[in-house]
Chain A
Amino acid sequence: MIERTITVVPEDGLHARPASKVVTAANSYDSQVTIGPAGSDGVDAASMLAVTGLGVGPGDDVDITADGPDEADAVDELESILTTPEHDTEHTT
């Protein structure tokens, strides 16, 4: 299992488009992926309802964990989503 602490950059926090990207990414890996406020238990990152329930805002620290065959890639992709400002992604997606 891999665990990494990340500071959330997108200005929406874990809502709207960034949340949707996190959930889509978590669903695309075989590993079990969790996300939660730093230092506390995470929730299933593949569930939009669970991720929305976290209420994570910009500047908050979150712990991401991934456990499974593609755990390194899963954590890398989530880190990339959560550290990219929204206006940067607007033009590329």
Chain B
Amino acid sequence: MAHHDHKPLTTDLIDLDHEPETKPEAIEQLLDLAVEAGRVTDREQALADLRAREAEATTGVGMGIGIPHAKSSAVTAPTIAFTRSSAGIDFDAMDDEPATLLFMLLVPAEGGEEHLQMLSSLSRSLMHEETRTALQEADSPERVESIILEAVE
């Protein structure tokens, strides 16, 4: 499989049409994008790994952002998925701000520290209000894709 040459994010991993209403729903919806894109071999395993990470500490990092993530043997290639909530959902963030920008990061078990690099780059980029606003206002998956890929490069 030449999955390793793939970009971590493609437009089929971006859903701007269905808004999750709860944190568990957001996690399942984002995971389904990765499953449908053929990047997950075992949905239940990946979900268990995501939930285990979430149980350790919330991935609601504040400033309206949720980044559930996991390193998982059920994942075939580094993957980012994205959706939004215009109303905002409770992501157990320490600043109590409802999350409106929802990301998922998945990497294969042998991925080393790759996922942490991706997570740090994305987080740094999201510190900038311009990035957050651009993602909130983006009106197409293509636009979202280019903003996020630029952020994690």
- Are the C-beta atoms of A52 and B120 separated by less than 8 Å? yes
Main secondary structure of the interface of B (DSSP, over half): mixed
Give the contacting residue for B94; candidates A16, A48, A54, A55; CB below 8 A.
Answer: A48
- Are the C-beta atoms of B61 and A49 separated by less than 8 Å? yes
Using an 8 Å CB-CB cutoff, how does the interface string of A17-32 with B read, 1 for contact, 0 for none?
1011001100100000
- Are the C-beta atoms of A53 and B124 separated by less than 8 Å? yes
Using an 8 Å CB-CB cutoff, how does the interface string of A53-86 with B read, 1 for contact, 0 for none?
1110100000000000000000000000000000
Contacts of A17 in B (CB 8 A): 56-57
- Are the C-beta atoms of A53 and B127 separated by less than 8 Å? yes
- Are the C-beta atoms of B57 and A49 separated by less than 8 Å? no
- Are the C-beta atoms of B116 and A55 separated by less than 8 Å? yes
The reply on A36 being an interface residue by CB < 8 A is: no
- Are the C-beta atoms of A19 and B120 separated by less than 8 Å? no
Contacts of B94 in A (CB 8 A): 20, 23-24, 27, 48
For chain B, the bracket of interface size reads 20 to 34
Contacts of B56 in A (CB 8 A): 16-17
A to B CB contacts below 8 Å, 7 in the list: A19-B57, A47-B62, A48-B60, A49-B126, A53-B120, A53-B126, A57-B116
Main secondary structure of the interface of A (DSSP, over half): helix
Given contacts A17-B56, A27-B94, contact A48 B120 (CB under 8 A): no
The reply on A50 being an interface residue by CB < 8 A is: yes
The reply on B10 being an interface residue by CB < 8 A is: no
Report Cα–Cα, A33/B133, bound state, in Å.
27
Q: How far is the CB of B129 from chain A (nearest CB, A)?
A: 12
Q: How far is the CB of A87 from chain B (nearest CB, A)?
A: 13
Report Cα–Cα, A9/B58, bound state, in Å.
21
Contacts of A20 in B (CB 8 A): 57-58, 94
- Are the C-beta atoms of B53 and A49 separated by less than 8 Å? no
The reply on B119 being an interface residue by CB < 8 A is: yes
Of A13, A27, A55, most B-chain CB atoms within 10 Å: A55
The reply on B93 being an interface residue by CB < 8 A is: yes
